[in-house]
Structure 1
Amino acid sequence: MAKSNEELEARIAVLERKIEREKKARVMSEQHLEVHSRALYETNQSLQTSLAMAKKKQAELEFLRQTSGDVSSDISLQELITNTVELTGQFFSVECGMFIVTQNGQALESKVDNIWRAPNEWVSDKAFLQQATQFLPIQQQECLSMWLVSAIDEQSSHALSGFKWIVFVNFELLGNKIAWLAFFSRAEYLDEEALSVLSTAREHLLSGITRRITDVSIRKRTVELQDTVNRLEQAKRQLIQSEKMASLGQLAAGVAHEINNPVGFIRSNLEMLEEYLQDYQQLHELISKQIGISGQLDAAQYQSLCENIDLVYIQQDSEDLLASNLEGLDRVKEIVENLKTFSHSGDGKLDKIDIKACIEGALKIAWNALKYEHIVDNLLPDDLPEVLGNIGQLQQVFVNLFVNAAYAMSKGGKLTIKSKLTPRVLLVEVIDNGCGMDQKTLDQLFTPFFTTKPIGVGTGLGLSVSYAILESHNVHTQVQSTVGKGTQFSLSFPLPQ
């Protein structure tokens, strides 16, 4: 029995120690659980804070993405500013925003609604605008380098009742105008990080405004430059036409002589034909008289009457005179047509032309300056390809070259015109064996008003105008000259592809 009590007491002692261990284990578990729960709570709080921060950063990034997207888009300046006000108001969680344009410290009347109210509505509120403008330093002409914040005194403005802060910035526009953006907040405190994000958005907006103002300035400048180009082109056409008329004036005496020659022999031929007509009239009268006397006219009598006036010769010579007259009239017609082509100002349009016919027309116009003491060797083949050009302007070029060559060969000489053909270029060479030019003269050859001719003989514009014409035809020009030996002009005409 005693043994049983001892065993029981031992057993109880073991159980008590076990219970004590379990109690300690439970206390330790509770302590660990409390620590773990606290850690979980802190982690949860941290996660919630991080999530809120992440959402805030996401909102900031989305705001910056949208504002920068507008900046890089093709929307107008008005749309850019409107979108920026909407996005900024929503991001900054304010109830009201606005933009105004000022000039010389005065707000300009807006043609659109310029007051924004949350969630996204544009209205026109003159009372609010008038009160709100009082909180902006619109008298200053300088642009702000950052957003500024100003407290609103509720006592001073009924229209702004309940608003505590105004956040604003401005930007320079064209015409000494300034755009102001302002936002009105009811919050007790403003989010400094949000203000920092607004600074980045301001840089985006400033970049967009600058780009659009630059684009407007470029477009305006482009229009002005185009107007200038048009005026210069008009002046160029007038100069070409004036020089053409001056050249024609200098050639007038020779051209008149060229026309007068065929007109002179046509007149002489007509006078002779008039005499032949009188002979025919005389023959008719003699035949009528003979028939009146004898009532008939035999072959011998008719033959005798014809021989008396030399009818056979008259008939043959009349045919020659008529042929000569037609040839003379064709010559006059040809000269007039060449002059008409040469003097016509045209529209400057380039068409496919027969360059050989163009050169030969110029030769006929300048022929009086060449025909007496000069030899003209025209080696151009009949099968030259067509080139793009204005025939009147190119004739002016070749007339200038031919007249200058004649002047350089004052004591007589040889003018040679020849060509070389490559797959892409037709090369036309005008060569004279006249006095030639030194390097100083060559360097100034195409300078306006430079001339080696006496006053009243040359204008100094012929070759400069010719060079401008050749440039407009995309013709490459080279000049080689040696004093005492002559000059060669090489004109490379690009062939139509």
Structure 2
Amino acid sequence: ESLKEKISQLALQNTELEKALVQLHEAQDELVKSERLAASGKITAQLSHELNNPIHNIQSCLQSALKRASQGAAERELIEIALEEVQRLAKLTRQTLDVYRVSMVQETKEPTDLNAVIREVVESSAPIFEEHNIRVILNLFNAMPKVSGLHDKLKQVFLNLCINAKDAMPSGGELTIKTLQQDGLAIAVVSDTGIGIPGENINRIYDAFFTTKGKVSGVGLGLSVTYGIIQQHNGTIDVKSTVGEGTTFTLTFPLPGEPHD
């Protein structure tokens, strides 16, 4: 072989090696996300299970005390505050167990119309969008094949993303959801014109309990649950965000019988 041919082969091998390296980094990133979710879910699920009974008992006692406290009594306000915090704690333990169950339970998937799921979520959320002056734009690929999925779980995914978008646009804005078919995948893209996610937070948004919304809005499990459901569907989720401009989530789901990368 000539030196020129050997150099050409070496260049080709280098290109293939670079491609393999990129794929390896992507796989490592997914593994880190997966292990992080599994670890946090496993540890906290057992703790939440153990806390359920005492939380329920405390809640019952506080409700009983509230009924007995006379209107205007000084202790009534304290009881109401304590009851509110216990109810929040009860919600937290339920959501924590939900995160863990998503990763453990194997349910039977069925052919699911992704466009129909999205339309259901948008329709049910219409009053909230209207109240917050949010315009919803749908650009759905009409010939989209059905994915192998769990209808209610996929509905939860898009509901969580819509709630996040709403919270990111306190003064109103646009929420755009589009679907397309590409390379054997069903792809959904959810974009908002909200406040965006700071760079230092972008790698933490799928962590259980991570939130920048404060305790009034939630406990930081929405995107963690979303990530778990997408994993359950052998899919992927990617986020791109610019502070002050908005955030875009891209979801992919393998189509049955279709080759994909």
TM-score category (smaller protein): 0.5 to 0.7
| Paired-residue identity, % | 36
Aligned residues: CA RMSD: 2.4
Partner of 1:350: 109
**What SS does the corresponding residue of 1:479 show, helix, strand or coil?**
strand
Partner of 2:10: none
The separation in 2 between residues aligned to 1:348 and 1:362, in whole angstroms, is 22
The separation in 2 between residues aligned to 1:369 and 1:446, in whole angstroms, is 24
The separation in 2 between residues aligned to 1:366 and 1:464, in whole angstroms, is 21
The separation in 2 between residues aligned to 1:371 and 1:461, in whole angstroms, is 25
* Displacement of 1:456: 2.6
Give the residue type in structure 1 aligned to 2:178. K
Give the residue type in structure 2 aligned to 1:377. I
Counterpart selection for 1:466 from 226, 229, 232? 226
Partner of 2:83: none
**What SS does the corresponding residue of 1:384 show, helix, strand or coil?**
coil
* Displacement of 1:455: 0.9
Deviations 1:36-63 (A, max 9, x none): xxxxxxxxxxxxxxxxxxxxxxxxxxxx
* Displacement of 1:349: 1.7
2:256 aligned with 1:496, yes or no?
A: yes
- Superposition TM-score, scaled by structure 1 size: 0.30
Counterpart selection for 1:442 from 198, 202, 209? 202
The separation in 2 between residues aligned to 1:470 and 1:369, in whole angstroms, is 25
Contact 1:369 1:403 in 2 (8 A): no
The separation in 2 between residues aligned to 1:426 and 1:347, in whole angstroms, is 22
The separation in 1 between residues aligned to 2:207 and 2:166, in whole angstroms, is 21
Give the residue type in structure 2 aligned to 1:427. I
**What SS does the corresponding residue of 2:189 show, helix, strand or coil?**
strand
* Displacement of 1:484: 0.2
Partner of 1:379: 139
* Displacement of 1:358: 0.8
Contact 2:144 2:180 in 1 (8 A): no
2:125 aligned with 1:366, yes or no?
A: yes
Contact 2:141 2:180 in 1 (8 A): no
2:166 aligned with 1:406, yes or no?
A: yes
The separation in 1 between residues aligned to 2:204 and 2:181, in whole angstroms, is 30
* Displacement of 1:388: 0.8
Structure 2, gaps ≥5 residues long: 1-40, 50-101
* Displacement of 1:398: 0.4
* Displacement of 1:347: 6.7
Give the residue type in structure 2 aligned to 1:494. P
The separation in 2 between residues aligned to 1:405 and 1:423, in whole angstroms, is 28
**What SS does the corresponding residue of 2:201 show, helix, strand or coil?**
helix
Give the residue type in structure 2 aligned to 1:353. T
The separation in 1 between residues aligned to 2:183 and 2:203, in whole angstroms, is 31
Contact 2:173 2:192 in 1 (8 A): yes
Partner of 2:180: 420
Deviations 1:373-419 (A, max 9, x none): 01100111332110011010010010000011011011010000112
The separation in 2 between residues aligned to 1:427 and 1:413, in whole angstroms, is 23
The separation in 2 between residues aligned to 1:391 and 1:426, in whole angstroms, is 15
Count of aligned positions? 159
Contact 1:449 1:461 in 2 (8 A): yes
**What SS does the corresponding residue of 2:200 show, helix, strand or coil?**
helix
Q: Quick one: higher RCO (CA 8 Å, sep 6+), 1 or 2?
A: 2
Contact 2:134 2:174 in 1 (8 A): yes
* Displacement of 1:479: 0.2
The separation in 1 between residues aligned to 2:127 and 2:219, in whole angstroms, is 20
**What SS does the corresponding residue of 1:452 show, helix, strand or coil?**
coil
From the CA coordinates, give the structure whose radius of gyration is larger: 1
Partner of 1:482: 242
Moved over 3 A (4+): none
Contact 1:378 1:416 in 2 (8 A): yes
> 1:319-358, aligned counterparts within 5 Å?
348-358=107-117
**What SS does the corresponding residue of 1:403 show, helix, strand or coil?**
helix
The separation in 1 between residues aligned to 2:126 and 2:211, in whole angstroms, is 22
The separation in 2 between residues aligned to 1:470 and 1:381, in whole angstroms, is 20
Is 413-422 or 477-486 further displaced after alignment?
413-422
Deviations 1:83-107 (A, max 9, x none): xxxxxxxxxxxxxxxxxxxxxxxxx
Contact 1:365 1:399 in 2 (8 A): no
